[in-house]
Amino acid sequence: MIDPYNVLERASAHIREAGARVAHVSKASIHEKNGHCNYVTETDIAVEEYLKSELPPIVPGSCFFAEEQENEALTDAYTWMVDPIDGTTNFIMGRHASCVSVALLRNRIPVLSIIYQPYLDELFTAVRGHGAFLNGRPIHVSDQPFPKALTALGTSPYYAELAHATAYCFERFLTKGGDIRRVGSAALDCCDIACGRADIYFELRLSPWDYAAGALLVTEAGGKFEMPYEQNIDFGKSACVLASNPLCYDDALKILQDAKPLIPSGL
Ligand code: LIP
Domains belonging to the chain, first-starting first, are 4-138 (3.30.540.10), 146-262 (3.40.190.80)
Q: CB of 84 closer than 6 A to ligand 1?
A: no
89 C-alpha to center of ligand 1: Å? 8
The pLDDT of residue 147 is above 70: yes
Alpha-carbon Rg for the chain, nearest whole angstrom, is 17
Q: CB of 238 closer than 6 A to ligand 1?
A: no
Indicate the average pLDDT of the chain.
95
Query: Which residues share a beta bridge with 82?
Result: 66, 102
How many C-beta neighbours within 10 Å does residue 110 have?
26
Closest approach atom of ligand 1 to CA 210 = 9
Residues 73 and 104: beta-carbon distance below 8 Å: no
Rounded average pLDDT over 9-36: 88
At 128 the pLDDT is 98
The pLDDT of residue 1 is above 90: no
Average the pLDDT over each of 27-36, 56-65, 175-184, 206-215 and give the range with the smallest value: 27-36
Using alpha carbons only, give the angle 242, 77, 57 rounded to the nearest 5 degrees.
Answer: 105
The pLDDT of residue 242 is above 70: yes
Q: Ligand 1 pocket: which of 181, 185, 205 to mutate (most atoms <8 Å of CB)?
A: 185
